[in-house]
Amino acid sequence: MVKRAKPGVHAAKAEMPGFIKPQLATLKMKAPSEGYVHEIKYDGYRVQVHVDKGATRIFTRNGHDWTKRFSAIASSFKLRSQTIFDGEVVVIHEGRTNFSELQADLAKGRQDRMVFYAFDILFHNGEDLRSKPQIKRKELLKELIDMLDPPVLYSEHLEGDGHELFEAAARLNYEGIVSKRADAPYRSDRNEAWLKIKTVQKGTFPVVGFIKDPTGVAALYLGKQEGKELRYMGKVGTGWSRTVSSEIRKRLDTVVSPKQKLTKPIKKPKAIWVEPKFYAEVEYRDITSEGLLRASSFKGLSKGTRGS
């Protein structure tokens, strides 16, 4: 709980600030074991919610006013206080947050699936809370969010070793976790008081085509075998050196096809189609609502391997 002024002591009240530049997390490979609280990393839009005695405004991480786009969430903050919340707007699809589904809903103007997860509080009723320890801010945050109803939710956390939560996140195909120093203040920059540890998914996909560049390949088109159907899964264009790119090109040039082998053809004017004899090992973040790989990165090429 944030300390209140003692009776008879008049604490100076601060004016409610405007948009506050958000604190950002530093990418790490391993979750810290002590001194941190750990939360699930949400795959959505980072926003800042300003509640001013019943009037609510919602800003993006860059300070743009998106209150109208998130009007259903804004109208759910039935508080008469002056409070600034930090959190994430998400859409939950198939049991986890899905950025592609959120983007699709925004494009359609649909808001019924949107949820706001509050994970920090920066200001409340004349008190700037940014200098308070993270764990104290979360205590007050939970008190306030417990007074509200969905789609406004409190972002739960675990204390202690973050590896257990990270392993659980990986099993559930979540994006990862965010670990925050329990005793740290809120600082408007990217620092190591907040750490993000990401999970990745891996798969092996038949190469159905490529885009050439002068010495190798600029991108690979990938498919997925589903029964007798070969379905398009998107492309990968990163993860190789110039030397590896040249090697990929040499191998794919041996299986060039006059037409694509996808069951449902796609239009790719720059594509050189190939027989699906080679398989690309790929790391990726997610599969979009259109069924395409998101944030994919090439890891290797093999011949004759049946994959995912």
Domain boundaries, the chain: 24-198, 201-303
Query: Is 41 labeled as catalytic in the residue annotation?
Result: yes
- Mean pLDDT, to the nearest integer, of 50-55? 96
pLDDT in tens, 150-167: 999 999 999 989 999 999
Do 201-303 and 24-198 fall under one CATH topology? no
Q: Is the pLDDT of residue 44 over 70?
A: yes
Nearest to 308 by CA among 278, 276, 282, 274: 282
Please give the pLDDT value at position 11. Answer: 56
pLDDT(14) > 80: yes
Q: What is the mean pLDDT of residues 288-307?
A: 82
pLDDT, tens digit, 9 for 90 and up, residues 113-144: 999 999 999 999 999 999 999 999 999 999 99
pLDDT digits (tens, 9 = 90+) for 229-286: 999 999 999 999 899 999 999 999 999 999 999 999 999 999 999 999 999 999 888 7
pLDDT at residue 300 is higher than 60 = yes
Q: What is the pLDDT of residue 201?
A: 82
Asked whether residue 5 carries a pLDDT value surpassing 60, the answer given is no
Average pLDDT over residues 89-109: 89
More confident: 149 or 3: 149
Confidence bin at 179 (pLDDT 50/70/90): very high
Least confident of 88-92, 150-154, 201-205, 223-227: 201-205
CATH class of 24-198: alpha beta
pLDDT at 104: 84
Q: In the CATH hierarchy, which fold is given to the domain comprising 201-303? A: OB fold (Dihydrolipoamide Acetyltransferase, E2P) (2.40.50)
Buried-exposed string 225-263: b where 16+ CB fall within 10 A, e elsewhere: eeeeebebbbbbeebbeeeebeebbebbeeeeeeebebe
pLDDT at 305: 52
Section 168-179 average pLDDT: 90
pLDDT at 306 > cutoff 60? no
Of 3, 6, 13, 41, which residue is the catalytic one? 41
Average of pLDDT values for 93-103? 86
